[in-house]
Amino acid sequence: MVICLKVHEYQAKEIFKKYGVPVPDGALSRTPAEAKETARRIGAPVVVKAQVHAGGRGKGGGIKLAATPDDAESVARKILGMRLVTHQTGPEGTLVKSVLVERASDVEREMYLGMVIDRERSQVAVISSPEGGVEIESVALKSPEKVHKAWVDPLVGLMPYQARQICFGLGLAGQPFKDGVNCILNLYRLFVSEDATLAEINPLAVTRDGKLIAIDAKINLDDDAAFRHNDRPDYRDPNEEDPLEVEAKTHNLSYIKLSGTVGCMVNGAGLAMATMDLIKHCGGEPANFLDVGGAASSDAVEKAFKILTSDKDVRCVLINIFGGIVRCDRVATGVVEAIGKAGDAGMPIVVRLEGTNAKEGIDILRGSGLNFHTATGFHEAAQKAVDLSRGGA
């Protein structure tokens, strides 16, 4: 699974600046007083923008215009500390801890520019549209003729003629056209040099005085390429992540919390998803996705078990391990140790071990004196777990 690292707008804009993609003057502020000071320094009117990863911030009340430095202060006071709810955050929203205060641009027209790796073509795709400032999905749905795509030959890179073609398609002319070509070529340079998986400007604007400027900025970085970027600041924001998911990551476990009652611990992402599907098929609801990975030690299994059972909604745990490189006896040892330390699991546990050393694993579980439900069939295991999660036997 490819892991993308999301960065905040203000960080994305710092990266934009480094590569010559034009952005408005601005600075990050963590207090209303700082916001006021920034507004005074760069000159009002300013825009105060909540720094959270989710999209749809404007509609949720996380982006506000301020005419004076005093306005900036009072607007920042409202936004800082609020739980911003958008269509991407879920109903609980995200706590806003900082705002970007930027000089407001006098916008004449808004466009869209984005770059992404197209998995079907195995090339970088440049997507552009003369309609910006709205969700590009809806533009593509309503008027697909307004979405232009170009693909980059990895051997030669993005060619100037392609950038010109895109700018003609955006309807640019004169100085904004020249700036547009540079902006596109620079954004591609950024995409490759920084190992991005997504770089997006929505909207890319032309101001009334003919300047091209990136009003918003979004960058996702490829975590797998981190080895090439040892000098990179730590962009991770624990405020944006589920604490259990963060805890899981530190133990090399892949965990995503869901809303059901059957906790699952599985090795391999595909089998983990299939296990969730089977729980649903048997009439239950999975509480999580948890992949203990390819080289799960008994220590990792112990940590995984702790994370699973700290979810208050979990009524029953299903452990489904298909041994390959992962040996079932090691997994069994981890589970026994985890429960032994806790004294009692506090809930029924269904274990299914298959593959390498499955028999030895089952023997360890049976010999532990702890109360496990074992199952041999995939369906049998899932059905048992679903029944037990409902208090049945």
What the block records as the tokens of 315 is: 């009524």
What does the alpha-carbon distance between residue 184 and residue 124 come to, in Å, rounded to a whole number? 13
Q: Within positions 334 to 353, which residues make up the interface with another protein, using CB under 8 A?
A: none
If binding is defined by CB under 8 A, does position 2 make contact with another protein? yes
The single residue among 270, 343, 369, 391 that binds another protein, judged by CB under 8 A, is 270
What does the alpha-carbon distance between residue 142 and residue 155 come to, in Å, rounded to a whole number? 35
CB of 25 to another protein, least distance (A): 26
What the block records as the tokens of 182 is: 């540079």
Do 382 and 281 touch, CB atoms closer than 8 A? Answer: yes
What does the alpha-carbon distance between residue 253 and residue 302 come to, in Å, rounded to a whole number? 11
What the block records as the tokens of 116 is: 């992404």
Give me the DSSP letters along 186-224: HHHHHHHHTTEEEEEEEEEEEETTS-EEESS-EEEEEGG
If binding is defined by CB under 8 A, does position 116 make contact with another protein? yes
If binding is defined by CB under 8 A, does position 227 make contact with another protein? yes
Query: How wide is the angle at C-alpha 171 spanned by C-alphas 166 and 177, nearest 5°?
Result: 70
What does the alpha-carbon distance between residue 258 and residue 179 come to, in Å, rounded to a whole number? 46
The single residue among 157, 210, 346, 377 that binds another protein, judged by CB under 8 A, is 377
Do 26 and 101 touch, CB atoms closer than 8 A? Answer: yes
Q: Which of the ranges 173-181, 240-248, 330-338, 378-386 carries the binding residues for another protein, by CB under 8 A? A: 378-386
The single residue among 52, 265, 266, 307 that binds another protein, judged by CB under 8 A, is 266
Instruction: Kindly tell me which of 36 and 53 has the beta carbon lying closer to another protein.
Output: 53
Instruction: Kindly tell me which of 165 and 356 has the beta carbon lying closer to another protein.
Output: 356
Name the H helices within the chain: 9-18, 32-42, 69-79, 136-142, 160-169, 174-193, 243-250, 269-281, 298-309, 328-342, 358-367, 378-389
Instruction: Kindly tell me which of 155 and 393 has the beta carbon lying closer to another protein.
Output: 155
If binding is defined by CB under 8 A, does position 107 make contact with another protein? no
If binding is defined by CB under 8 A, does position 114 make contact with another protein? yes
CB of 318 to another protein, least distance (A): 13
Do 300 and 335 touch, CB atoms closer than 8 A? Answer: no
Instruction: Kindly tell me which of 27 and 140 has the beta carbon lying closer to another protein.
Output: 140
Q: Within positions 158 to 197, which residues make up the interface with another protein, using CB under 8 A?
A: 192, 195, 197
The single residue among 107, 125, 347, 370 that binds another protein, judged by CB under 8 A, is 125
Looking at the annotation, which residues are catalytic?
112, 200
Around Cβ 209, how many Cβ atoms within 10 Å? 8
Instruction: Kindly tell me which of 134 and 370 has the beta carbon lying closer to another protein.
Output: 134
> What is the x/- site pattern for another protein, positions 10-39, by CB under 8 A?
------------------------------
What does the alpha-carbon distance between residue 359 and residue 208 come to, in Å, rounded to a whole number? 74
What does the alpha-carbon distance between residue 148 and residue 128 come to, in Å, rounded to a whole number? 5
Size of the site for another protein (CB under 8 A): 70
Instruction: Kindly tell me which of 151 and 370 has the beta carbon lying closer to another protein.
Output: 151
Q: Within positions 235 to 264, which residues make up the interface with another protein, using CB under 8 A?
A: 256, 258
CB of 164 to another protein, least distance (A): 21
If binding is defined by CB under 8 A, does position 7 make contact with another protein? no
If binding is defined by CB under 8 A, does position 120 make contact with another protein? yes
Which residues are CB-contacts of 86 (< 8 A; sequence separation ≥ 6)? Answer: 54, 55, 56, 57, 59, 60, 62, 93
Query: How wide is the angle at C-alpha 130 spanned by C-alphas 128 and 131, nearest 5°?
Result: 100
If binding is defined by CB under 8 A, does position 355 make contact with another protein? yes
The residues binding another protein (CB under 8 A) are 1-2, 4, 55, 88, 114-120, 122-125, 127, 135-137, 140-141, 147, 153-155, 192, 195, 197-198, 200, 202, 218, 220, 222, 224-225, 227-228, 256, 258, 266-271, 273-281, 286, 289, 294, 322-325, 354-356, 377-379, 382
